[in-house]
């Protein structure tokens, strides 16, 4: 029998009407009142997600920064204290072990937040590849995490913190107090909207959840499940590890070249990416929308006009805000330019699609930017 | 409560027989479990189905679910309103959310279907 893990909010979810489902070993709410309603609440107002299942790994020691930089693709050297960075961690074949966010406390202390599905694997990977004077600690059991997301997230959270949230621009974080509990407040998220991810000592998580709902009564704050977490991230074209990216896809193929810094020094997987750059890619992840009725889903095949298979869908849905069938697919390079015609095979039927620019929808994320430092 | 005059299947379809025709949809229980319905892939008019064959596919935000023909017949009408408003299946599964009308090819099959009461007992056993 598989025993599903519970976050500190398990009882809270039941109380708030969450429909609980198994998800990568955890029992999590897929929805409360409905995926579309929750999706729209985050796009137009403010919603909250329990993301306590995410993994947290802390790297400390004099070599923490150079080691993190060697294990990941983006340039962690550019971070200042209190800054966050989206990055990928590759295997020796250039495949993506996981995508993650680095939080630099200081050069000797970097917290990495990773996907729940990969948390154990990532920790084992980091421990076996870490060199020099740096050590990794799995802090996943210590941290609960809430994601407060939506254009009104800052307005709500401002009621509960004593400092001006404008001092926490996109992809930065700071320590602060909510309801007497010291937490880490980061302006990051997985929805395409402005918002915060709040790391909370595990046992204090329900109290912070309730404080946010008390402060959010007038908005009203919507509890949100994994269902709309997936639909929001896809509209914003944020990658889902296990679907759009995995250990067989490189960040270049996945359209994540912007988190690969070839000039920063050595990192695991770099030589494979250098070779891919030199030889050119064979396939790439593109955004598409159906121009005929249907709903694309992960694993559906993609064909050309003659029916020859040219790729496959990795994520797809009827986009709740856009009300259009959209998806992501790996296709041969010839079919990657915007406007290219593709056919998605849905139940043996060819349904016409076209490649479109992404993100499919640009939300409010990143509207509060750091003032450039001189 | 599910309408008394309908007949039901264990796959959560309802069918409302009038003469040699029947209207088909999915039950309140089915739509609630599927969640927000975003697309109904309706069959072509004139197409014939045997009982138990996949008649159409209902797509919710999360998944695609087959809906089976509760009776054998030929499609004589489909609910075109669902093309622009699939959410009618959630809002009114026994009314405006109907899906297909079949002309029956074997009306004797109807005796194998569940009554409203039998269906209610069945879904209670699933909880």
Return the pLDDT at B110. Answer: 83
Domain B7-126: which topology? OB fold (Dihydrolipoamide Acetyltransferase, E2P) (2.40.50)
Q: What is the average pLDDT score of chain B?
A: 94
Return the pLDDT at A374. Answer: 38
Specify the 3-state DSSP secondary structure of A16. coil
Q: What is the average pLDDT score of chain A?
A: 97
Compare CB distances from B59 to A36, A295, A320 and report the shortest one's residue: A295
Of B42, B53, B31, B46, give the one whose Cα is nearest residue B109. Answer: B53
Task: Provide the ipTM.
Answer: 0.88
Condensed to tens digits (0 to 9), the pLDDT of residues B5-55 reads 999 999 999 999 999 999 999 999 999 999 999 999 999 999 999 999 999
Return the pLDDT at A1. Answer: 59
Residue A281 burial (CB count, 10 A) = 14
pLDDT tier at A346, thresholds 50, 70, 90: very high
Among B residues 55-94, those touching chain A with beta carbons less than 8 Å apart: 57, 59, 61-62, 64, 83
Question: Does A31 lie at the interface with B, CB-CB under 8 angstroms?
Answer: yes
- Rounded to the nearest angstrom, the minimum Cα separation between A34 and chain B is 7
A89: enclosing H helix or E strand: strand A83-90
Average pLDDT in the A326-339 region?
98
**% chain A with pLDDT above 90:** 97
Return the pLDDT at A373. Answer: 47
Domain A282-356: which topology? Elongation Factor Tu (Ef-tu); domain 3 (2.40.30)
Q: Check CB contact under 8 Å for B38 and A318.
A: yes
For residue B62, which residues of chain A lie inside 8 Å, CB to CB?
30, 35, 227
Q: Check CB contact under 8 Å for A295 and B39.
A: yes
Condensed to tens digits (0 to 9), the pLDDT of residues A68-104 reads 999 999 999 999 999 999 999 999 999 999 999 999 9
Q: CA–CA separation, A110 vs A119, rounded Å?
A: 16
- Rounded to the nearest angstrom, the minimum Cα separation between A337 and chain B is 28
Condensed to tens digits (0 to 9), the pLDDT of residues B70-114 reads 999 999 999 999 999 999 999 999 999 999 999 999 888 888 899
Return the pLDDT at B111. Answer: 82
Q: Check CB contact under 8 Å for A35 and B35.
A: yes
Q: CA–CA separation, B86 vs A122, rounded Å?
A: 42
Give me the half-sphere count of Cα atoms (radius 13 Å) on the Cβ side of residue A279: 10
Condensed to tens digits (0 to 9), the pLDDT of residues A15-69 reads 999 999 999 999 999 999 999 999 999 999 999 999 999 999 999 999 999 999 9
Q: CA–CA separation, A366 vs A290, rounded Å?
A: 29
pLDDT at A258 over 50: yes
**% chain A with pLDDT above 70:** 98
pLDDT tier at A370, thresholds 50, 70, 90: low
Bridge pairing between strands A47-50 and A222-224 = parallel
Q: CA–CA separation, A81 vs A65, rounded Å?
A: 11
Of A96, A121, A101, A116, give the one whose Cα is nearest residue A257. Answer: A96
Return the pLDDT at A21. Answer: 95
């Amino acid at each position: 029998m598989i025993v599903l893990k519970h976050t500190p909010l398990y009882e809270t979810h039941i109380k708030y009407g969450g429909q609980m489902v198994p998800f990568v070993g955890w029992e999590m709410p897929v929805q409360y009142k409905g995926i579309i309603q929750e999706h729209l609440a985050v796009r137009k107002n403010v919603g909250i997600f329990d993301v306590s299942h995410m993994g947290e790994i802390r790297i400390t020691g004099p070599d923490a920064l150079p080691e993190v930089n060697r294990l990941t693709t983006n340039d962690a050297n550019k971070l200042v204290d209190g800054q966050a960075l989206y990055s990928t961690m590759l295997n020796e074949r250039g495949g993506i072990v996981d995508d993650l966010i680095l939080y630099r406390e200081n050069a000797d202390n970097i917290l990495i937040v990773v996907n729940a599905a990969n948390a154990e694997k990532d920790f084992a990977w980091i421990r076996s590849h870490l060199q020099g004077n740096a050590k990794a600690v799995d802090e996943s059991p210590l941290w609960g995490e809430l994601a407060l997301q939506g254009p009104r997230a800052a307005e709500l959270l401002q009621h509960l913190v004593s400092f001006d949230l404008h001092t926490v621009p996109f992809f930065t974080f700071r320590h602060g107090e909510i309801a007497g509990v010291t937490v880490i407040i980061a302006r990051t998220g997985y929805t395409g909207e402005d918002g915060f991810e709040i790391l909370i000592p595990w046992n204090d998580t329900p109290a912070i959840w309730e404080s946010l709902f008390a402060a959010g009564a007038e908005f009203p704050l919507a509890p949100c499940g994994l269902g709309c977490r997936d639909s929001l991230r896809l509209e914003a074209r944020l990658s889902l590890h296990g679907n759009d990216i995995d250990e067989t896809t490189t960040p270049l193929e996945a359209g994540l070249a912007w988190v690969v810094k070839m000039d920063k020094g050595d990192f695991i997987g770099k030589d494979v990416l250098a070779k891919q750059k030199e030889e050119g890619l064979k396939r790439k992840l593109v955004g598409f929308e159906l121009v005929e009725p249907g709903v694309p889903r992960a694993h559906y095949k993609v064909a050309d006009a003659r029916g020859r298979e040219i790729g496959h869908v990795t994520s797809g849905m009827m986009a709740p805000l856009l009300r259009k069938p959209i998806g992501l697919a790996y296709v041969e390079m010839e079919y990657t330019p915007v406007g290219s015609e593709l056919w998605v095979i849905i139940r043996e039927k060819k349904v016409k699609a076209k490649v479109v620019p992404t993100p499919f929808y640009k939300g409010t994320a990143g509207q509060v930017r750091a003032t450039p430092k001189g | 409560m599910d309408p008394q005059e309908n007949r039901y299947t264990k796959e959560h379809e309802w069918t409302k027989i009038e003469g040699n025709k029947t209207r088909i949809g999915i039950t309140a229980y089915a739509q609630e479990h599927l969640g927000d319905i975003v697309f109904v892939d309706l069959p072509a008019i004139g197409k014939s189905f045997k009982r138990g064959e996949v008649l159409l596919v209902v797509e919710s935000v999360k998944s695609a679910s087959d809906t089976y023909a509760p009776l054998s017949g030929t499609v004589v009408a489909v609910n075109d309103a669902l093309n622009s408003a699939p959410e009618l299946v959630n809002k009114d599964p026994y009314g405006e959310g109907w899906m297909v009308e079949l002309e029956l090819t074997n009306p004797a099959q109807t005796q194998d279907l569940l009554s409203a009461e039998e269906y209610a007992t069945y879904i209670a056993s699933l909880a």
